């Protein structure tokens, strides 16, 4: 006789001490009570207490017995039947090929990924099988099905050798269930081997990975150098910008629920799961901030059209006791191209100078940028640029506008600022054509006296989503003295900022695979106070970052449990999800709304809070969401180890091929029935011994 969970049996036995301790404790703490009618008391004691004391001990024993029986029942007693080493068995191999298996294995297997180490362990187990044994091969990703029939060991080894790690989340429980189902159909004794690194994301710790009936479950823990991560966020980016120069900037946004946490810096490792190139950087929380951004630049092969990144945060360096979210987004590492001509005769500074200051407020920190004379724009000259800011549209000729349009259509962000100088060039026509059909820009600008202010309640826009909570305060001090009038259908132009008369101050539109943003006023003091107000730096940087996110060249993925009710996006799983019928709701910042986070590759199917059609549909978004990964409590290595010990029959990797364990559900049922009978007896006995309420004489 053995137990599937021997710790529970020991706990049940230990729990027996509880009633006894309570009994002794209550007995010890009573102080002497003075009493007058001692003779009556003595006679009553002589009459009844001896019998009562025996009855009480019986009650105590029954209560201890109840606890013991329940403990034994939960521990699932099992009988061990010895089988000989030469007896053939049916082996089900469950190989972890999830995205987490792409990480490096532990130091015991240097140079190997966790997948390779797990595969080696599986092959070793297969080769140790006695003759006549049969093998089923399963994977935790569930993408490769080999459940139809058992194969010979040699064939199974060949099948394992052909497997590659996937980008799918791990679904170990379903795989073990499938293996168990397969083994039930076999006449011979069954055994399941689950080989994995058991790093975060490799196994769903919520699931009870236990075969229900017949087979032994053995764990081949191949180890992992992942010493415990608080969060893993991974994303797949299917298409890079066609003009990419071969590097990409990955932003990991880490948020925490409050700003009074002690830790200021969180190390974030960003790994390209295909090339295993990793970069470590710190996400630094500025005082009073709940959000920090870690930015790394990784080199990518432009020829490869699919990339995946994984961001990890060590469990012991999580930013707060309850990490809220970690989000990955990518920005092209190409410098922002500013189309302007160098000028020295402008006292107040040109639009380009103000924008350059906003892009790089401190030297070396911010978005890299470079200048180009608009008159030099010729076909092919904008290649390699993902973000273009046109500060002097009047200097672009027809060829320049054509190059800008084609670059945008092939996937680039174009930001247009009206010219500040008087000009006779009709730049408005090609500019309006770039913005979209039906858009017009009036030839003459409008002077406002008194100056216009901005509407306190600004529309929801992806450009301003990260500063939305402070937007009312940020736009309050802005005064607009002069602006151009941009008009167009609402299906084409999406307002980003509007003035108090309803006229747009900044609009957004899409063209081909690109995104166009245009300011109605120039960021110079003679036109508006925009450039001198605190909103300007975040507005410019967010326009570049979020604009690129909207391109195919960028993407973002978030794990987390944050909730924002407005402007949500509905995502539909298209691959890798267990339940294709369900959809996922993500808020404007990419956070998952609700607790039901389904893993898989998701595609946006509907958006609320934004003008449909005004923006192109989002890129494919990959969500390798391990809900447990959002909760650092569940990812504590000690807790994981305890969970493994509790739920698995063989907690280490030693294969015990000599015996099979039959879990005895029947025995558990009988024990529970016995406990119920004891409870009934205890109740009846207690009622029999109960003393009636005293009556006043």
Partner 1 sequence: MATQGLRAEQYLSPETLAQLAPFELRAKMVADGVMNGMHQSPLQGMAVEFAAHRQYTAGDSVRHLDWKVFGRSDKLYVKEYRQETNLDVMILVDGSASMSFGTLGVKQGWGGTDATRRRGAWTKFDHATASAAALAFLCLSQRDRVGVAVGADGLRGAVRKSAARDQWRSIVRCLSSEPVEARFSPAACINQLLAQTSHRTLFVILSDFLGDPEGLRSALARLRHRGHDAMLLAMLDHRELTLDLDVEAPFVGLEGEDALDVDTRMIRKAYLEELQRHLQGIDRQARAFGYDVQVFDTHESVGPVLAALLSRREGMVAGGRR
Phi, psi at residue 232, to the nearest 5°? -125, 125
Distances (CA, A) of 153 to 88, 490, 610: 11, 65, 57
Q: How many CB atoms within 10 Å of residue 79?
A: 11
Touching partner 1, residues 7-26 (CB under 8 A): 26
Cα–Cα dist 478/535, whole Å: 9
Which of 131, 288, 380, 692 forms a contact with partner 1 (CB under 8 A)?
Answer: 692
Task: State the nearest-atom distance from the C-beta of 60 to partner 1, in Å.
Answer: 13
Residue bearing tokens 């990975």: 209
Task: State the nearest-atom distance from the C-beta of 59 to partner 1, in Å.
Answer: 11
Strand 247-255 relative to strand 291-299: parallel, antiparallel, unpaired? antiparallel
Cα 465 to the center of its chain, rounded Å: 20
How big is the chain by its Cα radius of gyration, in Å?
A: 34
Cα–Cα dist 76/181, whole Å: 20
Nearer to partner 1, 39 or 164 (CB): 39
- Which of 143, 130, 222, 205 is closest to 175 using CA atoms? 143
Cα 253 to the center of its chain, rounded Å: 12
Task: State the nearest-atom distance from the C-beta of 21 to partner 1, in Å.
Answer: 15
Question: Binding of partner 1 at residue 691 (CB under 8 A)?
Answer: yes
Q: For the window 447-486, what string marks contact with partner 1 as x by the rule CB under 8 A? A: ----------------------------------------
Which of 25, 32, 398, 565 forms a contact with partner 1 (CB under 8 A)?
Answer: 32
Cα–Cα dist 120/96, whole Å: 12
Question: Binding of partner 1 at residue 683 (CB under 8 A)?
Answer: no
Nearer to partner 1, 653 or 686 (CB): 686
Torsion sign (Cα): 638, 643, 646, 651:
negative
Task: State the nearest-atom distance from the C-beta of 50 to partner 1, in Å.
Answer: 10
Question: Binding of partner 1 at residue 687 (CB under 8 A)?
Answer: no
- Which of 447, 412, 370, 418 is closest to 518 using CA atoms? 418
Nearer to partner 1, 37 or 85 (CB): 37
Which of 45, 80, 128, 212 forms a contact with partner 1 (CB under 8 A)?
Answer: 45
Which of 22, 40, 673, 677 forms a contact with partner 1 (CB under 8 A)?
Answer: 40
Which of 17, 21, 42, 490 forms a contact with partner 1 (CB under 8 A)?
Answer: 42
Question: Binding of partner 1 at residue 264 (CB under 8 A)?
Answer: no
Which of 14, 18, 21, 47 forms a contact with partner 1 (CB under 8 A)?
Answer: 47
Nearer to partner 1, 59 or 278 (CB): 59
Task: State the nearest-atom distance from the C-beta of 47 to partner 1, in Å.
Answer: 4
Which of 1, 38, 162, 286 forms a contact with partner 1 (CB under 8 A)?
Answer: 38
Question: Binding of partner 1 at residue 52 (CB under 8 A)?
Answer: yes
- The window from 102-110, 172-180, 602-610, 689-697 that contacts partner 1 (CB under 8 A) reads 689-697
In the sheet that 307-314 helps form, which strands lie side by side, from edge to edge?
A: 229-237, 307-314, 265-272, 278-284
Nearer to partner 1, 22 or 676 (CB): 22
Nearer to partner 1, 35 or 424 (CB): 35
Distances (CA, A) of 457 to 133, 345, 466, 493, 611: 71, 38, 15, 18, 17
Classify burial at 456, counting beta carbons within 10 Å of its beta carbon; exposed 0-12, middle 13-18, buried 19 or more.
exposed
Transcribe 202-249 into DSSP letters. Answer: TB-TTS----SSSPEEEEEE---S---EEEEEEEEE----TT--SEEE
Token pair recorded at residue 121: 């362990």
Question: Binding of partner 1 at residue 35 (CB under 8 A)?
Answer: yes
Which residues here bind partner 1, judged by CB under 8 A?
A: 26-27, 30-45, 47-49, 52-53, 56, 691-692, 694-697
């Amino acid at each position: 006789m053995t137990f599937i969970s021997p710790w529970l049996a020991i706990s049940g036995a230990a729990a027996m001490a509880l009633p006894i301790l309570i009994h002794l404790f209550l007995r010890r703490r009573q102080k002497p009570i003075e009493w007058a009618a001692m003779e009556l008391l003595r006679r009553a004691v002589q009459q009844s207490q001896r019998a009562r004391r025996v009855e009480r001990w019986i009650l105590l024993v029954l209560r201890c017995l109840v606890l013991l029986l329940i403990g034994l029942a939960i521990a699932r007693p099992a009988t061990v039947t010895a089988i000989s080493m030469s007896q053939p068995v049916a082996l089900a191999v469950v190989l972890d090929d999830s995205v987490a298996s792409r990480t490096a294995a532990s130091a015991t297997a240097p140079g190997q990924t966790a997948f390779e180490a797990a595969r080696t362990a599986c092959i070793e187990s297969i080769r140790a099988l006695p003759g006549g044994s049969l093998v089923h091969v399963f994977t935790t990703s569930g993408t490769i099905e080999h459940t139809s029939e058992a194969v010979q060991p040699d064939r199974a080894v060949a099948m394992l050798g052909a497997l590659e790690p996937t980008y799918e989340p791990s679904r170990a429980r379903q795989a073990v269930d499938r293996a168990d189902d397969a083994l039930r159909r076999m006449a011979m004794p069954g055994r399941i081997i689950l080989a994995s690194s058991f790093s975060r994301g490799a196994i769903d710790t919520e699931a009870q990975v236990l075969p229900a009936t017949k087979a032994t479950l053995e764990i081949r823990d191949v180890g992992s150098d992942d010493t415990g991560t608080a969060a893993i966020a991974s994303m797949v980016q299917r298409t890079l910008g066609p003009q990419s120069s071969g590097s990409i900037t990955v932003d990991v946004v880490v948020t925490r629920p409050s700003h009074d946490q002690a830790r200021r810096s969180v190390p974030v490792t960003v790994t390209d799961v295909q090339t295993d190139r990793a970069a470590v950087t710190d996400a630094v929380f500025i005082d009073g901030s709940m959000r920090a951004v870690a930015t790394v630049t990784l080199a990518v092969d432009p020829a490869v059209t699919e990339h995946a990144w994984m961001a990890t945060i060590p469990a012991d360096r999580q930013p707060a006791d309850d990490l809220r979210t970690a989000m990955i987004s990518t920005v092209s590492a190409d410098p922002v191209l500013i189309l302007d001509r160098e000028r020295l005769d402008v006292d107040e500074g040109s639009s380009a100078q103000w924008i350059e200051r906003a892009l790089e407020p401190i030297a070396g920190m911010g978005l890299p940028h470079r200048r180009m004379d608009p008159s030099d724009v010729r076909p092919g000259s904008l290649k390699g640029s993902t973000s273009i800011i046109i500060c002097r549209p009047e200097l672009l000729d027809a060829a320049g506008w054509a190059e800008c349009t084609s670059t945008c259509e092939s996937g680039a962000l174009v930001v247009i600022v009206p010219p500040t100088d008087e000009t006779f060039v009709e730049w408005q026509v090609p500019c309006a054509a770039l913005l979209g059909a039906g858009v017009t820009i009036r030839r003459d600008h409008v002077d406002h006296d008194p100056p216009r202010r901005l509407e306190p309640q600004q529309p929801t826009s992806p450009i301003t989503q990260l500063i939305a909570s402070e937007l009312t305060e940020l736009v309050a001090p802005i005064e607009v003295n002069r602006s151009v009038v941009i008009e167009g259908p609402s299906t084409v132009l999406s307002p980003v900022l509007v003035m108090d008369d309803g006229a747009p101050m900044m609009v957004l539109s899409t063209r081909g695979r690109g995104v166009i943003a245009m300011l109605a006023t120039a960021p110079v003091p003679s036109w508006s106070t925009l450039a001198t107000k605190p909103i300007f730096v975040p507005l410019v940087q967010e326009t570049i970052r979020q604009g690129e996110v909207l391109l195919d060249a960028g993407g973002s993925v978030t794990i987390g449990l944050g909730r924002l009710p407005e402007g949500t996006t509905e995502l539909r799983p298209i691959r890798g999800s267990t339940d294709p019928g369900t959809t996922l709701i993500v808020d404007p910042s990419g956070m998952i709304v609700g607790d039901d986070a389904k893993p898989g590759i998701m595609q946006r199917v509907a958006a609320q809070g934004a003008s449909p059609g005004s923006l192109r549909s989002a890129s494919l978004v990959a969500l390798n969401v391990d809900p447990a990964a959002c909760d650092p409590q569940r990812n504590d290595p000690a807790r994981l180890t305890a969970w493994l010990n509790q739920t698995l029959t063989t907690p280490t990797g030693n294969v015990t091929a000599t015996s099979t364990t039959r879990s005895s559900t029947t025995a558990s049922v009988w024990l529970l029935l016995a406990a119920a009978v004891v409870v009934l007896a205890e109740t009846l006995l207690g009622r029999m011994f109960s003393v009636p309420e005293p009556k006043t004489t």
